[in-house]
């Protein structure tokens, strides 16, 4: 999801569909780590405790995680990027450390294939302070996500030193991930007037536009074999929805409350809509077989809550529910060898709104 800057915060994501009152009334057990129906998870372990921790992704060798974190109690008022070595036994602790500068807001980090660098988006060149969030009351309390024009994508070494700036065009550039061969970045940008996907050759800097239909396209990933792309998209259809989308876009805003999963060849050809479930279907990724898709969705619930993990085939069939938390499960991602899965969840949070990172062995 790869996600955009505020989709990565569970608190705001839940506000996509719920009022604060409804959220406070829900009675999901606060201390459930592993639900009995979650038969695909083995040796499930919670890695973080407290704050909003989201978009945790593996290094290419499967030994590290990179993720973003907000925690006002730790003086992290908006998302910053952390990395941590994955524990190899139950006695070893997960001890992440800050790798972004602590300035501005950051989002959407990924390891480069060399294992010595990461990339992420940041607003720090525009302002060292956290950028303001939209006033939802001006838009009927809808979930509104800001497209901060100061977001650009950077490469950093593992000591936190920014070694290269990858984007510098006007407008939003974020939501970047890397191809399996390490040569290509896919990202989301507003450089051509809409919210579209682009690829960039990391060596030459040459970019290519992948999507051109009106609507938000983001959170893209390559398939493990590098032959396909998968992402989330909204496609306003009615005149009213199209006008609302354009009006918000003119204010550098978007309200992606209805999203489906799309796929294409890595060069952008043969774009297909996979899901048609309604509501929010997002954070999709290909599973190790390059054919099955795992994603997060709230489509089962008219109230738009909870979010759980599901798998399906490339044609949208064989839908299978994987996770069972009564609040929020999302951002699923497999290690390169397909043996482990990492995801983020509200489970086992003591009745708070904390979102934490969980890792498990995957059982077919």
Tokens representing residue 128 in the block: 């060292």
Specify the pLDDT at position 143: 82
Q: What is the pLDDT of residue 1?
A: 41
Distance of alpha carbon 344 from alpha carbon 10, whole angstroms: 9
Predicted local distance difference test score (pLDDT) of residue 90: 93
Q: How high is the pLDDT of residue 166?
A: 98
Q: Which residues of the chain have pLDDT under 70?
A: 1-30
Domain 10-362 indexed as CATH 2.60.40.1180 = no
**What are the residue boundaries of the structural domains of the chain, listed by start?**
10-362
Q: What is the pLDDT of residue 30?
A: 57
């Amino acid at each position: 999801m790869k996600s955009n800057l505020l989709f990565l915060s569970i608190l705001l994501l839940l506000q996509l569909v719920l009022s604060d009152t409804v959220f406070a009334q829900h009675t999901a057990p606060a201390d459930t780590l592993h639900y009995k129906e979650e038969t695909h998870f083995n040796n499930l372990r919670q890695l973080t405790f407290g704050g909003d921790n989201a978009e945790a992704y593996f290094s290419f060798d499967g030994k590290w995680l990179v993720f973003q974190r907000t925690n006002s109690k730790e003086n992290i008022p908006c998302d910053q990027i952390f990395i941590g070595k994955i524990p190899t036994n139950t006695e070893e602790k997960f001890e992440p450390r800050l790798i972004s500068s602590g300035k501005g807001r950051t989002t959407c980090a990924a390891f480069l294939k060399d294992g010595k660098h990461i990339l992420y988006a940041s607003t720090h060149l525009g302002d060292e302070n956290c950028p303001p969030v939209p006033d939802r009351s001006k838009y009927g309390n809808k979930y509104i996500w800001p497209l901060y024009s100061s977001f650009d994508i950077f490469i950093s070494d593992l000591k936190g030193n920014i070694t290269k700036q990858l984007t510098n065009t006007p407008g939003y550039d974020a939501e970047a991930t890397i191809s399996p061969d390490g040569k290509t970045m896919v990202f989301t940008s507003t450089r051509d007037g809409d919210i579209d996907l682009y690829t960039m050759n990391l060596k030459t800097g040459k970019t290519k536009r992948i999507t051109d239909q009106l609507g938000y396209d983001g959170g893209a990933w390559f398939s493990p074999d590098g032959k396909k792309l998968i992402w989330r998209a909204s496609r306003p259809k009615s005149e009213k929805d199209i006008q609302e989308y354009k009006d918000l876009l003119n204010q550098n805003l978007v309200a992606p409350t209805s999203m489906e999963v799309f796929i294409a060849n890595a060069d952008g050809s043969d774009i297909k809509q996979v899901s048609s479930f309604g509501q929010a279907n997002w954070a999709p990724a290909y599973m190790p077989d390059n054919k099955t898709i795992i994603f997060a969705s709230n489509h089962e619930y008219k109230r738009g809550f909870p979010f759980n993990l599901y798998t399906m085939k490339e044609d949208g069939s064989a839908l299978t529910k994987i996770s069972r938390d009564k609040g929020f499960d999302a951002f699923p991602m497999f290690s390169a060898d397909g043996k482990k899965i990492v995801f983020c969840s509200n489970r086992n949070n003591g009745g708070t709104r904390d979102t934490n990172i969980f890792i498990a062995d995957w059982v077919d």
